[in-house]
Structure 1
Amino acid sequence: MSAQTPLFDTHVALGAKIVDFGGWDMPLAYGSQLEEHHAVRQSVGMFDVSHMLNVDVTGACAPDFLRHLLANDVAKIAGVPGKALYSCMLRPDGGVIDDLIVYFFASDNWRIVVNAGTADKDLAWMQQQAEPFGVTIAPRRDLAMVAVQGPKARDTVWAIHPEWKAATQELKPFNGTLVDENTLVARTGYTGEDGFEIVLPAAAVKTFWDALAAAGVHPCGLGARDTLRLEAGMNLYGQDMDETVHPLESGLAWTVSFKDDTRDFIGRAALESASKARELVGLKLLERGIMRSHMKIRTAQGEGELTSGTMAPTLGFSIGLARVPVGAAPGDRVEVEIRGKWLPAEIVRPPFVRNGQALV
């Protein structure tokens, strides 16, 4: 039986099409997926992301534990309350267990936000690795999360909660702040637009959602979330990376920190000895059609495969991410097999869209 967020009944009442996503009953769309996409690009939309799991990591050795657990180095954010860091959590062989965001609150108090479909295995892995460090791993299933995204997102949130404005108006991207003991407001969006992600008690989320709806915020489902994130050039776990590939072949080398030679993070030895035969690139289809994941790619260096693909509503043509042999470069022409035909495409550098502006 699938799990449900505290807003499930609200989604049903709004007429959302419900689908299984990572073991959760989630809204795919409430009507027109295109309208939801454009609402975020042009105005403001909201997403129920309560299926993602917040995990508190506490204890005196929490910094040492996290520097061992994660490929990116939490020393980069230590000392700045609310500062966030994106990282992969790796297997010893370098495969990606999950991609996640970690927040610093205090030296002995951190929070990790993990993906819904991997939450159980993530928790088991973290608890196993935490034993030698004596830290506490506490899943916060009492919390919910809503992402409010779009050029009007922050002003809309402030109109509902003016008392939050002083604490949040100077927040830079990938920073958050606790506006009260149980409510985190952060700028770590997944759409390529401005906005907030609000983590709050599950018991309070419906009141907040209803206030956003009354203010004219468009509810958005997983469909729009996927087209928005792909336009923003952001990876999706399970498609663009997973346990079978390492981050250096997934466009995520920037999330791996080798700077401190003494930091022995899980997977480091495997990455340092790995041969990088493939890389993740962006693709723009040059003829009519829609690229989808698992379609074959032909490049001058050899064959590859689409990991994500869609019609980009903001751009009016199909875009994708593809894992191809090393050596392909932006501007190169390749071919994509769509329904038995090989169509021309061009390698481009993601993101495709940022802050409403086309970049390709």
Structure 2
Amino acid sequence: MGQRTVLYDLHLALGAKMVDFGGWDMPLHYGSQVDEHHEVRRDCGVFDVSHMTIIDIAGEQAEAFLRYVLANDVARLEGVGKALYSAMLNDQGGILDDLIVYRTASGYRLVVNASTGVKDLAWLREHGSRFAVEITPRYDLAMLAIQGPQARARCSELVNQARAAIILALKPYSFVSEGEWFIARTGYTGEDGLEVILPAEQAVPLLNDLIGAGIAVIGLGARDTLRLEAGMNLYGQDMDDSVSPLEANMAWTIAWEPEERDFIGRTALQQQRTQGLDSKLVGLVLEERGVLRAHQVVRVAEVGEGEITSGSFSPTLGKSIALARVPLATSERAEVEIRGKWYPVRVVAPKFVRNGKPLI
């Protein structure tokens, strides 16, 4: 038996198929993964993401600490209510985790991956011992993500006037605290939406309200196909501690300026940038029938071989798609081995769908 979120019993009552995910018992789907996928693309749906680890960072050296342990620069957060995406690296430049950091009135809030939460907390405490900081995991909180083109409009109808105004006015990659609620506008589906972090005991009533308003509950299965269509990496598949941000299409998350900022992994990244990369992360589209899966071999004529990191059938496109790490010289065509046979694939930019619209 794995760890369970506060919403576990409600998931069972809703008929969820439960699976292990990073040591947590989480809903894979509630009947139809494909229907759930389409619901988010066309309207909106709600995900339980309470398994993710929330960590508050406070203290007089909180900014200096995060500027050291993160590749992106929290000094870019111009004021309370702003957020940014970053990687946390090891000394070799490998990605220990990807996360979102929010600047709060009392410091910063990190939301990190469920499977890496324990490791991340230990890493932060190890390096935080040299700074005047307080590192507090918030196991008392839960988090729901409401994603889809109608997410903000639908949610604004269910809450009080103050929260409705916040939801409708909220800018991308920002948040507002209202009472005990922390309302953010980031996401992992390629659609608009919200994340609500709130006291754990309030999560069940909120989810019931959302369901009562006709908002569909969405499992991990659709979450994966949605993020894959959006070209968003999954930690442990498309990146890990042996892969640098430069190799994972995350170069934009590295703040090289100011040059005097020394962050963990910087020297290794600079060396890699100077020497050049051997591989890149691309998108693949299978034009024939079949399904692309992680670890399938990718062959590029007269160039070399690579490997699929994430692959699935795309409900929006009606085709199988994948992310793959391939030789740098790869151009527009490749082949993938599926059950002993080679199938031609088209190589594309690793963003397939955004805001409900195909990009390939």
Q: Same fold by TM (over 0.5)?
A: yes
TM-score by length of 1: 0.97
Alignment of 1:1-360 (within 5 A): 1-77=1-77, 79-106=78-105, 108-163=106-161, 164-180=163-179, 182-274=180-272, 275=275, 276-300=277-301, 301-329=303-331, 332-360=332-360
Q: Tell me the SS of whatever aligns to 1:223.
A: helix
Name the Cα RMSD after superposition. 1.0
Unaligned ranges ≥5, structure 1 = none
Q: Tell me the SS of whatever aligns to 1:242.
A: coil
Moved more, 162-171 or 31-40: 162-171
Which residue identity does 1:75 align to in structure 2? Answer: A
Shift, 1:254, TM fit: 1.0
Which residue identity does 2:238 align to in structure 1? Answer: D
Alignment check: 8 A CA contact 2:281 2:350 kept: no
Which residue identity does 1:288 align to in structure 2? Answer: R
Q: Aligned equivalents of 1:80 and 1:283: distance in 2?
A: 39
Moved more, 232-241 or 284-293: 284-293
Q: Aligned equivalents of 1:251 and 1:335: distance in 2?
A: 22
Which residue identity does 2:158 align to in structure 1? Answer: I
Q: Aligned equivalents of 2:98 and 2:135: distance in 1?
A: 17
Shift, 1:162, TM fit: 3.7
Q: Tell me the SS of whatever aligns to 2:129.
A: helix
Alignment check: 8 A CA contact 2:299 2:335 kept: yes
Instruction: Count how many residue pairs are aligned between Structure 1 and Structure 2.
Output: 355
Shift, 1:179, TM fit: 1.7
Q: Aligned equivalents of 1:224 and 1:324: distance in 2?
A: 26
TM-score by length of 2: 0.97
Moved more, 260-269 or 343-352: 343-352
Which residue identity does 1:87 align to in structure 2? Answer: S
Q: Tell me the SS of whatever aligns to 1:160.
A: coil
Q: Aligned equivalents of 1:251 and 1:294: distance in 2?
A: 19
Q: Aligned equivalents of 1:257 and 1:335: distance in 2?
A: 36
Which residue identity does 1:307 align to in structure 2? Answer: T
Unaligned ranges ≥5, structure 2 = none
Q: Aligned equivalents of 1:160 and 1:111: distance in 2?
A: 26
Q: Aligned equivalents of 1:80 and 1:287: distance in 2?
A: 50
Superimposed CA distance per residue, residues 300-331 of structure 1 (whole angstroms, 9 cap, x where no aligned partner): 421000000000000000111000111224xx
Q: Aligned equivalents of 1:30 and 1:344: distance in 2?
A: 34
Percent sequence identity over aligned pairs: 55
Shift, 1:80, TM fit: 2.0
Superimposed CA distance per residue, residues 194-239 of structure 1 (whole angstroms, 9 cap, x where no aligned partner): 1101101001000000000000010110000000000011000000
Superimposed CA distance per residue, residues 121-178 of structure 1 (whole angstroms, 9 cap, x where no aligned partner): 0000001111111101100000000000111111111111142122232222111111
Q: Aligned equivalents of 2:160 and 2:298: distance in 1?
A: 50
Moved more, 48-57 or 341-350: 341-350
Q: Aligned equivalents of 2:327 and 2:257: distance in 1?
A: 27
Which residue identity does 1:198 align to in structure 2? Answer: V
Classify 1:135/1:233 alpha carbon distance in 2 versus 1 (closer, same or farther; 3 Å): same
Which residue identity does 2:85 align to in structure 1? Answer: Y
Q: Tell me the SS of whatever aligns to 2:334.
A: strand
Alignment check: 8 A CA contact 2:156 2:167 kept: no
Q: Tell me the SS of whatever aligns to 1:133.
A: coil
Superimposed CA distance per residue, residues 248-298 of structure 1 (whole angstroms, 9 cap, x where no aligned partner): 111111111112110110000011112411111111112111100000001
Superimposed CA distance per residue, residues 100-139 of structure 1 (whole angstroms, 9 cap, x where no aligned partner): 0000114x51000000000000000001111111101100
Q: Aligned equivalents of 2:17 and 2:81: distance in 1?
A: 35
Alignment check: 8 A CA contact 2:181 2:196 kept: yes
Which residue identity does 1:166 align to in structure 2? Answer: A
Moved more, 209-218 or 108-117: 108-117
Moved more, 95-104 or 274-283: 274-283
Q: Tell me the SS of whatever aligns to 1:3.
A: coil
Alignment check: 8 A CA contact 2:153 2:168 kept: no
Q: Tell me the SS of whatever aligns to 1:126.
A: helix
Q: Aligned equivalents of 2:160 and 2:348: distance in 1?
A: 41
